[in-house]
Structure 1
Amino acid sequence: MSASETAHLDPETPNIARIYDYYLGGAFNLPADRERADRIKSVLPGMEMLARFNRGFLRRAVAYLLDQGITQFLDLGSGLPTAGNTHEVAQARDPRAKVVYVDYEPVAVALGRRILRANPGAVMVEADARRPEEVFAHPRVREVLDLSRPLGVMMTGVMVFVGDHEDPVGLMKSYRDLCAPGSHIALSQLTDECADPETKVQVRAMVEAYRGVIEQLYVRDRAGVEALFEGMPLVEPGVTLMPDWRPHADTDIATGSPAHGLGYAAVGRVD
């Protein structure tokens, strides 16, 4: 077995995909992941709720795109395909739905492939979402998805890792230009714009607590999120806080947490 195939068994090194799985109540995490996750929660007590708000937005966005007739999805920077992720929502509604998960982190990819090995309609590929042409040229992406038809592009775990120095607006434009007309891009983004002073300090401490697991986390304000959708009409209600984007009883969770205001969400249409 290759190193990448056994990497998920490393008991000493925390991994961001497994940490996120832990926040969501999944089973694919190790003691080192839980220890780091608990350390992060100690500086930002709403971190677990923030992850759940993000997953709730993803689930509602997938359901909305299915209502628009979209049955194929490209989930970028996906982490592990667990805990109510894209393929579970889509295939529960339409068993023929196709999903390609993309992550550049070998641990997430190796474990994700094991999780999906019995599901021919959902696959995991190793690629860097910051290189859209390479993602769209990947043989497995082209094998599973019909790129001449509309896609649902899920970006609920990407832009938080892309700094302004990496031209996030240009990255979004590249995906817009590669997608067939009728495609939609769903995006969420960490923010502290609406946070009280104490929570702003906690967000900064959380960003520092993640160092050593990932390179950097980036926060944006509403204007920064709106700029990412340049050239794309926004689906109503536009850019909102994550729990406020088309709330639905099946996926809503209690919003009393300060984390309610720590993430923006929006869906744009490719014309």
Structure 2
Amino acid sequence: MSAFETAHLDPGTPNIARIYDYYLGGAFNLPADRDRADRIKSVLPGMEMLARFNRGFLRRSVAFMVDQGITQFLDLGSGLPTAGNTHEVAQARDPRAKVVYVDYEPVAAALGAEILRDNPDAVMVEGDARRPDELFADPRVTAVLDLDRPLGVVMTGVMVFVGDHEDPVGLMKAYRDACAPGSYIALSQLTDECADPETKVQVHAMVEAYKGVIEQLYVRDRAGVEALFDGMTLVEPGVTLMPDWNPRPGLDIPTLSPAHGLGYAAVGRVD
């Protein structure tokens, strides 16, 4: 067994972060992850492209924030820091950029820390994005990020795990209120609002296929996503489908896929 495999608990159990890495073409995944990923793709054929659209939005939104002068990022529910993730985009545009990745899953946090061990300006923290007060008080976070300065908060795929019963609007407000003016929050969200009837059935079959790997997934419509940005100024073009948010040469991907309509994206500025 390789050093990669021995570094992780229960390699026979699929892991959400490694499954996502597999969809993105990364190297940090195991046979159990690939088997479950293929099962999910069998019920939602566009799942791999959906993951790539999500990563494309992350890359473009991080590039946008760096261009606005943001040099520090908090990436929530990040999964593994691989395959063109936040620190790679930010530090390529500004070598001073600092990134804290947060994931509540112990395997993702342990492997992420291992991946980043030679990068002093990018760290991985095990923590729960649903507990912002704890994160903003965590010395591992404050050792890297100056919370008195504008911050880029990356939430690409976080709210999909937060049900309405958990007050997602209140959670976003907590992050907004904790950020210095001039900060930005980038968010993506699974949706079936624009899907045809067949694809809607596939989306809900995909949600079922993920059970046993992660918690419940939640879909939202455009109005639900817009509500999350209450009290912030939406950056143009507002709430769009993920591939349509400010496409940039070299940072977007072809959009001819049924998955084009399965995710909303937006960036809000904290005033």
Question: TM-score w.r.t. structure 1 length?
Answer: 0.97
Question: Residue deviations 1:92-136, cap 9 Å, x none?
Answer: 111110000001100000000000000000000011000000010
Aligned residue number for residue 246 of structure 2: 246
Structure 1 contact 75–101 (Cα < 8 Å) conserved: yes
Output the amino acid matched with 1:73: F
Output the amino acid matched with 1:150: P
Describe the SS at the equivalent of 1:12. Answer: coil
Aligned residue number for residue 264 of structure 1: 264
Q: Distance in 2 between matches of 1:8 and 1:215?
A: 20
Unaligned runs of 5+ in 2: none
The 1:7–1:197 alpha-carbon spacing in structure 2 relative to 1, beyond 3 Å, is farther
Deviation for aligned residue 1:34: 0.0
Aligned residue number for residue 125 of structure 2: 125
Question: TM-score w.r.t. structure 2 length?
Answer: 0.97
Which residues in structure 2 correspond to 1:166-245 (within 5 Å)? 166-245=166-245
Aligned residue number for residue 31 of structure 1: 31
The 1:167–1:7 alpha-carbon spacing in structure 2 relative to 1, beyond 3 Å, is farther
Q: Distance in 1 between matches of 2:69 and 2:8?
A: 36
Structure 1 contact 41–48 (Cα < 8 Å) conserved: yes
Deviation for aligned residue 1:17: 0.1
Describe the SS at the equivalent of 1:111. Answer: helix
Structure 1 contact 225–264 (Cα < 8 Å) conserved: yes
Which residues in structure 2 correspond to 1:13-24 (within 5 Å)? 13-24=13-24
Question: Residue deviations 1:127-154, cap 9 Å, x none?
Answer: 1000000010111110000000000000
Aligned residue number for residue 144 of structure 2: 144
Determine if the alignment matches structure 1 residue 116 to structure 2 residue 110. Answer: no
Describe the SS at the equivalent of 2:233. Answer: coil
Question: Residue deviations 1:236-260, cap 9 Å, x none?
Answer: 0000000000011112211111000
Deviation for aligned residue 1:10: 2.7
Determine if the alignment matches structure 1 residue 40 to structure 2 residue 40. Answer: yes
Aligned residue number for residue 134 of structure 2: 134
Q: Distance in 2 between matches of 1:11 and 1:136?
A: 32
Moved over 6 A (4+): none
Describe the SS at the equivalent of 1:78. Answer: coil
Percent identity, aligned pairs only? 88
Which residues in structure 2 correspond to 1:87-126 (within 5 Å)? 87-126=87-126
Structure 1 contact 8–108 (Cα < 8 Å) conserved: no
Describe the SS at the equivalent of 1:201. Answer: helix
Describe the SS at the equivalent of 2:234. Answer: coil
Task: Choose 87-96 or 15-24, whichever is displaced more.
Answer: 87-96
Q: Distance in 2 between matches of 1:72 and 1:11?
A: 33
Describe the SS at the equivalent of 1:144. Answer: coil
